Amino acid sequence: MPKEKVTTTKLREMKKDGQKFAMVTAYDYPTAQLVDQSEIEMILVGDSLGMVMLGYDSTVPVTMDEMIHHIKAVVRGAPHTFVVGDLPFGSYNVSVEQAIENSTRILKEGGADCVKLEGGFPVVETVRALVRAGIPVMGHIGLTPQTASQVGGFKVQGKDADTAKRLLEEAVALEEAGIFSLVLECIPAELAKLITERISVPTIGIGAGVHCDGQVLVFHDMLGLFQRFVPKFVKQYANLGSIIKQALNEFHAEVVEEQFPELNHSFSISEEVLAAIKGTTEGR
Ligand SMILES: Nc1nc(=O)c2c([nH]1)NC[C@@H]1CN(c3ccc(C(=O)N[C@@H](CCC(=O)O)C(=O)O)cc3)CN21
Ligand SMILES: CC(C)C(=O)C(=O)O
Ligand SMILES: [Mg+2]
């Protein structure tokens, strides 16, 4: 029996009941199928795909077309899972119209269930307009990778009283603007607890401690498939990277040793046909 796809209202009820939930990234069809067959409630097609799948140093270069390309593959693989589509850098800050157009593409062309965008006060009016246009919006504050260069890199946010207070106020403002859920990235656990208690929509933490209503991790991080860096907040639940490398070397060794392919991996013809082929060849 496939799981039942969560809804934005169901998530709010889960928060009320103290029932935690999990989200993981997926960027392609086979990964989406695996997540769909798991108990994980939500998939994020994150713009982290720029770093994880495309090898960029940041998420900034990712385009709308790239997001749509990956979202479509994920949606085809995960019919029973709520899919969040990340709005990439530059796709929502030019104007409210631009934000509505690009969000509409993510829902209509991509087939995602909602959009996510980064930022606090600067995006509150955009969020309000998107929600008014009928688009479910997930917020994202704390470490916001698209603008991380403005704060000196991928650093924990909200460690001093001023920044922490601002983050709390931004969470409240985003809720008032209509977000149905909020990602808290790389903030102190105590601050995440305060925010989680203050707003009635579910918070989803990544490097934000255990008090968030849900947790999110990058698929490749939790499975040992991303080698460039391992943030402190990552727990590696399996090391598929080493399993894959082992399998690749086994394949290579068996090819060199002529142990692969075996007969059951091969096709054959009858002696008769073989003789006829040889005869024909000799006749020429
Ligand atoms: N593979 C991957 N996983 C992610 O979680 C992720 C991405 N890519 N790309 C987009 C952003 C970037 N993220 C990152 C990347 C690095 C750190 C990191 O190394 N942070 C330091 C903390 C630095 C500090 O002390 O403030 C760490 O040691 O964890 C954190 C978040 C999270 N996102
Ligand atoms: C790190 C998560 C929250 C994200 O935005 C992404 O994967 O793009
Ligand atoms: Mg993102």
- C-alpha 179: how far from chain center: 18
Over residues 256-271, mean pLDDT: 97
Atom of ligand 2 nearest to the CA of 48: 8
Q: How far away, in angstroms, is 157 Cα from ligand 1 center?
A: 12
47-76 tens-digit pLDDT = 999 999 999 999 999 999 999 999 999 999
Q: Is the CB of 48 under 6 A from ligand 2?
A: yes
The end-to-end CA distance of the chain, in Å, is 63
Complex ipTM tops 0.85? yes
Higher per-residue confidence, 280 vs 36: 36
What ranges do the domains of the chain cover? 8-238, 243-283
Residue ranges of the annotated binding site for 3-methyl-2-oxobutanoate are: 47-48, 86, 116
Q: Are 135 and 114 in contact (CB under 8 A)?
A: yes
Catalytic machinery residues = 185
Three state DSSP letters for 114-168: EEECCECHHHHHHHHHHHHCCCCEEEEEECCHHHHHHHCCCCCCCCCHHHHHHHH
- 57: buried, middle or exposed (CB in 10 Å: 19+, 13-18, 0-12)? exposed
Q: How far away, in angstroms, is 252 Cα from ligand 1 center?
A: 35
Q: Is the CB of 157 under 6 A from ligand 2?
A: no
Ligand showing the shortest atom-to-Cα distance for residue 221: 1
User: Does the structure show a pLDDT above 60 at 45?
Assistant: yes
CA distance 131 to 119: 16
pLDDT band at 284 (very low <50, low <70, confident <90, very high): very low
Report pLDDT for 83.
Answer: 99
Residue 191: strand, helix, or coil:
helix
| C-alpha torsion 126→209→217→249, nearest 10 | 150
CA distance 159 to 262: 60
On whether the pTM is more than 0.80, the answer is: yes
Q: How far away, in angstroms, is 47 Cα from ligand 2 center?
A: 6
Over residues 147-170, mean pLDDT: 96
Q: Is the CB of 145 under 6 A from ligand 1?
A: yes
178-213 tens-digit pLDDT = 999 999 999 999 999 999 999 999 999 999 999 999
User: Does the structure show a pLDDT above 60 at 282?
Assistant: no
Atom of ligand 2 nearest to the CA of 118: 5
Ligand showing the shortest atom-to-Cα distance for residue 52: 1
User: Does the structure show a pLDDT above 80 at 173?
Assistant: yes
208-230 tens-digit pLDDT = 999 999 999 999 999 999 999 99
Residue ranges of the annotated binding site are: 47-48, 86, 116, 118
Ligand showing the shortest atom-to-Cα distance for residue 89: 3
Q: Is the CB of 156 under 6 A from ligand 1?
A: yes
Atom of ligand 2 nearest to the CA of 145: 5
Q: Are 150 and 177 in contact (CB under 8 A)?
A: no
Mean pLDDT of the chain, nearest integer: 97
Task: Tally Cβ neighbours within 10 Å of residue 86.
Answer: 29
Over residues 36-43, mean pLDDT: 98
Name the CATH architecture for the domain at 8-238: Alpha-Beta Barrel (3.20)
H or E segment to which residue 284 belongs: none
| C-alpha torsion 28→30→33→37, nearest 10 | -130
User: Does the structure show a pLDDT above 90 at 7?
Assistant: yes
Token readout for 252 is: 């290579």
Closest CA to 118 of 83, 95, 145: 145
Residue nearest to atom 4 of ligand 2 (CA): 46
Q: Is the CB of 154 under 6 A from ligand 1?
A: yes
76-129 tens-digit pLDDT = 999 999 999 999 999 999 999 999 999 999 999 999 999 999 999 999 999 999
Closest CA to 20 of 48, 41, 46: 41
H or E segment to which residue 84 belongs: strand 82-86
The widest CA-to-CA distance across the chain, in whole angstroms, is 91
Q: Is the CB of 52 under 6 A from ligand 1?
A: yes
**Tokens 């998420």 found at:** 59
Q: Is the CB of 48 under 6 A from ligand 1?
A: yes
